[in-house]
């Protein structure tokens, strides 16, 4: 029974990985992936273009700065 469950999980995982399109940035390797090729823990995305994925860290940094500025302006 355990082998059947594992096989089902592997099939689901492989299908879910191939169903996701777009470009991903791998934070561990610093490389852009076309379609997810690594575990979710190490990638961010998806992005529409390879260039957007390559600039992922700058995009996230700019968003974080904007959110920090917003939080600083908020009067709690």
pLDDT of 2-15, one tens digit each? 555 554 444 445 55
Q: Which residues of the chain have pLDDT under 50?
A: 7-12
In angstroms, the CA 36 to CA 31 distance is 11
pLDDT at 21: 86
In angstroms, the CA 28 to CA 67 distance is 25
Residue extents of the structural domains in the chain: 2-73
Give the global pTM: 0.65
pLDDT at 6: 54
In angstroms, the CA 1 to CA 71 distance is 51
pLDDT at 72: 87
Cβ-in-10-Å burial (0-12, 13-18, 19+) of 35 comes to: middle
Q: How many helices (H) and strands (E) does the chain have?
A: 3, 3
């Amino acid at each position: 029974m355990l082998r059947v469950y594992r096989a089902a999980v592997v099939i689901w995982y492989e299908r879910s990985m191939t169903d996701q399109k777009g470009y991903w940035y791998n934070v561990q390797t610093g490389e852009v992936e076309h379609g997810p090729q690594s575990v979710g823990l190490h990638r961010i995305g998806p992005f529409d273009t390879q260039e957007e994925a390559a600039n992922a860290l700058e995009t996230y940094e700019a968003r974080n700065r904007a959110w920090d500025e917003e939080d600083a302006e908020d009067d709690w």
